[in-house]
Amino acid sequence: MQVQSPGVAEFIRKNTSKLLGMATIMKHELDSENAFPEENIQISLPAMKSPNPALVLLTSLFVLLLASPLFNGSDSARAQQLLPIVKTNFTQVFIVHLQSPKGSPGLLTSEELNEWYFSYLPNTTLDSGEPRMIHTYDYVITGFAARLTDEEAASLESMDGFVFAYPEKNQPLHTTYTPEFLGLNQFNGLWEHSSQGEGVIIGVLDSGIIPNHPSFADTLKLPPPPLKWRGRCDIPAGSGSCNNKLVGAQHFIVPDLFITPIDDTGHGTHVAGIAVGSPVYNVNLRGLARGTASGMAPSAHLAVYRICQRDLCPESFSLKGIEKSIQDGVDIIQISNGASVEFHLNGNIKGSFRALQKGILTICSAVNKGPTPSLIGNDAPWILTVGAASTGRRNKVMLKLGNGMVFNGESSNEPNPSGNIIDAPLVYPGVIRTNEKLSCQNGSMTGLNVTGKIVLCGRGLTDPVEKSKVVKEAGGAGIIVVNRVWDGDTLWSYSFVIPGIHVTSKDALKIIDYFTIEKNPTVSITFKGTEFGVRPSPSIATFSSRGPSLYNGDILKPDVVAPGVDILSAWPFTPEDSSVKFAFNFQSGTSMAAPHVSGIAALLKKVHPDWTPAMIKSALMTTAYTGDRDKNRITDDASNSGAPANAFAIGAGHINPSAAEDPGLVYDTRVEDYIPYLCGLKWMSPDKMIMITNGAGTCNNKKKMAAEELNYPSIQVSMGSGGKNKTVPRTVTNVGIAKSIYSVTVVEPKGVKVDVNPKKLEFASIGEEKKFTVEINLTGSRPAKDVWEGKLVWMSGKYQVTSPIVIID
């Protein structure tokens, strides 16, 4: 029972000069390759033999600090300001976990529970008059969130019932075409069979909603929400109202932050539109991507919980939002924020475990920290974690250099009519090698003549749209935003305020070479409109976070990938050059991928109301595909070479909604199965178990389970030092044809022998379970690498139930 120790921060503080030196060298090498510093650096140490993993991780973190907009040059004092401080005399919000009072919280009234929580505070208000208590929790955890100093938090250790206290974290926030791309059609298939999700309630925890947007109008004349619904509508007068589509909208009031559910960033509105938006016809952005905008579950009900302020979502708000959504009666929880942290310090993970106990599936974004390995977030096995992939649509823009070289890129600020050509001299402020000039930050055009010219700018440090504003204010005629090496081939349709184009890092180097060699460089930008059937597609977005997880043992994450690049959905702000009343906008991120899956999960919940959250997840995972439109392995944009995506980028594969409706077999996992799994994690302790499960399970006299033994739809195994073989148990449940026989097919990882027993499963009824084991043996002829991949497929005449196999040495 303790207050969190700074741990790694102390190590960094004591070794600042050493780490700073290493990181500066690494950053210099990276900069010399691509000339664009940024906060998101992919670490590569080709010259180092067997680097110490901990040292590489710490040095990598320092590179992120060096390259971030908060770090200037080599000022180590500045780096010190970014590190956690052990003791402070100012207040911050702490999450405080307590043991359940005698008789358990469920036997206390809310008033009695709150009175008990307040007894832990030194007083109820700060000297400023602000209330100390932020939120109290009745269900997701036993505890509260309050403003405390470090010393006040430490003093709680001596009080009966105290478990743990730590400063809350601010979790960062992370479709005219995608229903068609995913095979959804109103006349047949999953949309028809599920009545487009009618009667299912999706709780979206995000930055709020614009309630009067047509995407949330009750145009389909939906019935009232189910009788179990207990939510409320806090939309202020004059801002719209709730209806049978938008059945609830709540906020979590903290003085001087926000007081309504109204969205002021667009993120929550965009996410909600993807998941459950009502159909809106003839939607486009400046004529691009014209079509009908619809959510994945257009007839489902929407409940909104505003937990985010701008682009940050305080953990105390996330916990309260999850608690309220459970109490209100939602069926699916959608969250597009989070970070890669230990389970007991992650509000999404703790809250979603309580949701699971009520039969509610939580879908979360995988976080946007790719392509650096092991920065995946929301990685608990009871969460469905979603990575991002591209689609086959792009808003094509062509760039032609004065020497005749042509490159394709993207943009969403296409002039009307399309085909308009911007032809002008090319200027590159980055020849003056400062962060400001390289990335076209505010003030970077000083001393440069860019009037009437097209300006080349590096991606990073500031938003590309902001870069275009800087160029416009300086008199520039257009902008070219170029990826850095670690940005790979993922392109965004930015809404530049002047004619512009976004191009890949490979093309960026050629453009810069041309500028360097040519005395009078010129360039033209031609807008070609929306293009469909782009190849290769889908591909894994560079920014999508990758496994392996640092915290979940051996559970493959992400679980699946879904469309998350240039998704057109509802938006609260109309473009300056548009007369439309209600806007739609392109956004990219795992934040956009997750609500696609949330909507599909709602459809499956409608078709199969008796399925558990694990069964829904299993159906989506075992029917996912790993081949692109040309039947090749889905590629990874981060490779810069079209290389195949590995399992830590793609998970089980890309979602396939139509197949998920009827998967044949599913891997079910009950709530109680997670207790021995948690007990088996190396970092687990009694206090952490209390924090994660809220006392629902302990490790006393409990058999521990290795992570690979959890009945999960994917198989990831770490052989360990000197390990040559392991046996993994699995159980499948028949949800397909009553009398059926399945035979196993295995694609063995190279150098790995996989033996499945039995090799045939014969079912006599729906709901029948069958067990099998997977024996994994390393051979002496395997390739010299640390990770090997294969797959296991149970096949009948109708079904193929696929599980990826990942072996880590």
User: Could you tell me the pLDDT band of residue 79, with boundaries at 50, 70 and 90?
Assistant: very low
Instruction: Report whether 461 contacts 72 (CB < 8 A).
Output: no
Structure confidence at residue 249 (pLDDT):
95
> 218 pLDDT exceeds 80?
yes
Contact assessment for residue 47 and residue 22, using Cβ atoms and an 8 Å cutoff: no
Q: Which residue has the higher pLDDT, 149 or 66?
A: 149
- Give the 3-state secondary structure of residue 136: strand
First vs last Cα of the chain: how many Å apart?
35
Alpha-carbon distance of 752 to 581, in angstroms, equals 60
Note the pLDDT of residue 186.
Answer: 63
- Dump pLDDT digits (tens) for 545-578: 999 999 999 999 999 999 999 888 888 877 555 5
pLDDT of residue 657: 93
Q: What is the mean pLDDT of residues 683-706?
A: 87
Q: How far apart are CA 261 and CA 241, in angstroms?
A: 11
pLDDT of residue 414: 65
What is the tens place of the pLDDT at every residue in 736-795?
999 999 999 999 988 889 999 999 999 999 999 999 999 999 886 665 566 889 999 999
Return the percentage of the chain with pLDDT > 70, whole number.
81
Which tens digits make up the pLDDT trace of 370-386? 898 999 999 999 999 99
At residue 253, what is the residue type?
I
- Residues with a catalytic annotation lie at 206, 267, 591
429-443 pLDDT tens trace: 876 666 677 778 887
Report, as an integer, the average pLDDT of 113-132. Answer: 87
pLDDT at 663 over 70: yes
Q: Look-up: residue for tokens 């010129």? A: 522
d(CA 471, CA 649): 36
Q: Pick the residue with more confidence: 803 or 504?
A: 803
Instruction: Report which DSSP code applies to 746.
Output: E
Instruction: Give the whole-angstrom CA distance, residue 299 versus residue 217.
Output: 11
pLDDT of residue 615: 98
More confident call, 614 vs 131: 614
Confidence check: pLDDT of 355 > 90: yes
Average pLDDT, the chain: 82
Instruction: Quote the pLDDT of residue 754.
Output: 94
Strands (E), 689-765: 715-718, 725-734, 740-747, 752-757, 760-763
* Residue 434 CA: distances (Å) to CA of 26, 128, 164, 438, 439: 17, 42, 45, 6, 9
How does DSSP classify residue 776? E
pLDDT of 709:
95
Residue 65: the pLDDT is 40
pLDDT, mean of residues 352-358: 96
- pLDDT of 19 higher than 70: no
Q: What is the pLDDT of residue 578?
A: 53
pLDDT of 229 > 70? The answer is yes
Q: What is the pLDDT of residue 254?
A: 66
Q: Which has the higher per-residue pLDDT, 92 or 65?
A: 92
Compute the distance between CA of residue 795 and CA of residue 406 in angstroms, rounded to an integer.
47
Which pLDDT belongs to residue 45?
Answer: 26
Residue 48 has pLDDT above 50, yes or no: no
Q: Which of 88-97, 694-703, 733-742 is modeled with the greatest confidence? A: 733-742
Residue 395 pLDDT more than 90?
Answer: no
The pLDDT tens digits for 276-327 are: 999 887 776 666 666 678 899 999 999 999 998 877 888 889 999 999 999 9
741 close to 799: Cβ distance less than 8 angstroms = no
Convert the pLDDT of each residue in 587-602 to its tens digit.
889 999 999 999 999 9
Q: Which residue has the tokens 């397909």?
A: 736
The predicted pLDDT at position 77 comes to: 32
Cβ–Cβ under 8 Å, residues 325 and 333:
yes
Output the pTM of the full model: 0.83
- What CA–CA distance (Å, rounded) separates 295 from 222? 15
**What is the 3-state secondary structure of 395-424?**
EEEEEEECCCCEEEEECCCCCCCCCCEEEE
Residue 255 pLDDT > 60: no
- Strand 201-206 relative to strand 301-306, pairing: parallel
**Degrees to nearest 5, angle at CA 563 with 508 and 557:** 95
